[in-house]
Each structure stands twice: as structure tokens, then as C-alpha cells.
Amino acid sequence: MAGTERVHRTVEAVWRIESARIIAGLARILRDVGLAEEFAQDALVAALEQWPEHGVPDRPGAWLTAIAKHRAIDWIRRRSLHERKRDALTRETESMLEDAAANLAASTDAAFDDPIGDDLLRLIFIACHPVLSREARAALTLRMLGGLTTQEIARAFLVPEPTIAQRIVRAKRTLAEAHVPFDVPPAAELASRTASVLEVIYLIFNEGYAATAGDDWMRPALCEEALRLGRILAELATGDSEVHGLVALMEIQASRLRARVGPSGEPVLLLDQDRSRWDPLLIRRGLVALSRAETLGSAGLGPYAVQAAIAACHARARTPDETDWPRIVALYDALAQIAPSPIVELNRAVAVAMAFGPAAGLELVDELTSEASLAAYHLLPSVRGDLLAKLGRTDEARSEFERAASLANNARERDLLLQRAARLVGSV
């Protein structure tokens, strides 16, 4: 049983890494993202059934890809035969199906690697097509490209899980009915389609940066994928300030990845991190991208560029004490004007506490305790607990940390919160 569980964990890990590429490669051939995901899921089921008995293959990603490809070939052939029997298959359709089958039957690398375009980026633009609602675009892309579960996506949006599941089902149906082409949109449509793409890429990055659930504090592969997609998008939309702002934000945040975990994988909070472990190359790349965003956004920065400017304040500080907290507060003031949200207000409260004292921050946090969308958000009681502890109100702080732990779905984060609560036992 233990061996089977280990293999299942391996399957899940491989699926996280490979599923988006497999789905994107199938979608390029089949022109149907829903159908592509079905065949990819078939491969996942086959792995769960066969790997425990026969062992994990040397190239598990290629194995999944080959299974999905063969299922798609079989489907195309059955469809072609069925339609020919009904005398409803035209020469043009028959040629298309034969070409598709030939492409799918080619080697894995040839069929699924596209060095000139980018299947994953195309898939993002499909999932972010205007025929879908904003919420559906983000949910579908996270499901197909991030490999996230509906529960993880629901937590990212702070909405019920059944709502996300319905959005995904309806989105795939809508795309199929609309016959959305599998391609990057033309230049005339690119700007209008970019905002939702940026949102999705950043949500993917955030799931990697601070995993909402599971045993790992981070999923670096998701951060890397989001960065890759952001950089590609920046090459497509060279004059878009917000594209470069998002890339800047992700580069600077990614520079901290090595410092965000301790020797045993435990979380290390920003002010406790060893800044010598921050990646200077990623910081430099981020600052260059931010400079480009600021140049392009002379009429005013967008929310991603403002958040990148906040991240840059941390990156430029050699020690926590050198952080320009008043500037960070001012930047959060600007962010609250252009992209207001309860989470922005919570982050602003933290900055106010660092700049002007924990009492000032706690006053702002207390105003958010009645916010319905934050009722199950573990970082609200976590922040409140931190500020109460700094004010010497240890019993209240311990209670807040324990409540935050009860709301946290990530095991590492939950352990950290419980440790912080335990350290306050008996404190004066």
C-alpha cells in the first residue's frame, strides 16, 4: 500500500509539470480544449492504473504524452470512419482529419514542441477569449495551464468550489460552440485580450509562490512557468506597460524563492529571510522590466507596475531596517485607488504598521474584520495576531494565530502559525 501511495504521489507530481503542455499540444491538433483535456485526463487515469503495477517509466512525461496522443489518434480515426459511413465527410474535412492524424502519429517532440510559436501561450489566449466571462477565463486557464484543482482555484478567487467547477464546464462548452481558433489573437485584438491574460499568469505565479494547499510551501515549477509565459507575452506586447510591470513583479518576487524556505522546507517570512540568498540576476531583470514599464506608463502606472515598485523597495533594501516603508505605504495608497480590494487594504495595513507602528496598523486591520470576502482568509487573523503580539497583547495574539492555522490549507503554513501561537504561551 505504501508503495502504491508513493507511485500515486509521483503521478500527481508529473501531472503538475506535464499536464499543461500535453493539453496545449493536443488542443493545437484537435482545436478543442475540452476534448484535449479529456484525452490528457485519460492518460492520467492510465498512469494511476499501470504505474503501481509496472513501475514509473524512465520518461514519465513522454509516457503520458504518448498515451494521450494515441487516444486522440483513435478518436480521430473513429470519427473519420463514422462520418464516412454516413456519407457526410467532405474531401476537405477528410484531408484535415488525415493531416491531424499524421501530425498526432509523429514523434512526441515533433507533435508537441513548438519552438516558433508557443502552444501554452496560445492556450492562455483561448482560455481568455472574449466569449467567456472574466471569471471563467481565469478559472479555465488555471485549470488547464496551472494544473490546479477546482478547490485551489476557488481559494485563489475566494469563492465556493462548486462555482468554479460550473465556470470551467461552461467555459469549455462555450469555446467549443464558438469554434474559437487555436492561435494568438491578431494585433488589433491583442490589447483588449491582454488584461485577463496578465491576471491569469499572476494567479499561476502566486499559486507557485505560496501554495494554497498541500504539504509544500511553494511550487517553484509554477513560478517558472508563469515567468516564462510572462516573458513571452512581453515579447509579443512590447509597448504594453502592464505586461512589463507584471514581468518585473514576478522577477523580483521569484528572486526570493531560495530564501523563503528553511532547511526542512519550513516557511521563512520576508523580514526573517537571509537576503544574501536572494537572486541578484532576477532582481536586476526585474528592475530593468520595471524601468521599462515606468517609461511606457508615463500617463500613470497600472496595478502590476505599482506592485512591482513595492517589490523593488524590498529588493533595494540590504536589510529589513533599510526598507523605505513610507514609500511602500504611498504605493499601496496608489494601488488602492486603481485596484481597490480588501487584500490590498490588508497589505496596506501591514505597511502602515511597519512605517508608523503596530497600533496604527491594527486599527486598519480591525476595520477589515467585518469584510465578508475575508471571513475564511487565514492571513487576516495572521496579520492581526502579529500586530497584537507586537503590542504585548499575547493572549489575543495566540488566539488569532490559532484561528489563522485552522483556516490555512497549506500544511507548512499551518505549522508555522501553530508554532507562533505556541511561542506566546506563558509570554508576558
- List the one residue out of 71, 72, 89, 92 whose CA is nearest residue 80: 89
> What's the whole-model pTM score?
0.73
Determine if residue 57 is left, alpha or beta; phi over 0 gives left, psi from -120 to 50 gives alpha, anything else beta.
beta
Quote the pLDDT of residue 82: 61
- List the one residue out of 317, 313, 319 whose CA is nearest residue 272: 319
Quote the pLDDT of residue 112: 45
Quote the pLDDT of residue 111: 44
> Tens of pLDDT along 96-150?
545 555 554 454 444 444 433 467 778 888 888 889 988 898 889 888 877 778 8
Quote the pLDDT of residue 273: 96
How far apart (Å, rounded) are the C-alpha atoms in residues 423 and 145?
40
How far apart (Å, rounded) are the C-alpha atoms in residues 20 and 225?
10
String of DSSP letters for 8-58: HHHHHHHHHHHHHHHHHHHHHHHS-HHHHHHHHHHHHHHHHHHHHHH---S
Quote the pLDDT of residue 84: 59
Give 87's DSSP letter. T
Instruction: Judge whether 404 and 417 are in contact, CB under 8 Å.
Output: yes
Which CA distances in Å does 418 have to 386, 405, 410, 415? Answer: 13, 6, 12, 5
The domain segmentation of the chain, as residue ranges, is 1-113
> Tens of pLDDT along 344-393?
999 999 999 999 999 999 999 999 999 999 999 999 999 999 999 999 99
Give the rounded distance of the alpha carbon of 43 from its chain centre: 23
Give the CA diameter of the chain. 85
Quote the pLDDT of residue 90: 52
Question: What's the mean per-residue pLDDT of the chain?
Answer: 86
Instruction: Judge whether 403 and 381 are in contact, CB under 8 Å.
Output: yes
Question: What angle do the packed helices 220-236 and 241-254 form, to 10 degrees?
Answer: 150
Quote the pLDDT of residue 398: 97
Q: Give me the residues of the chain with pLDDT under 70, please.
A: 1-2, 80-118, 156, 158, 426-428
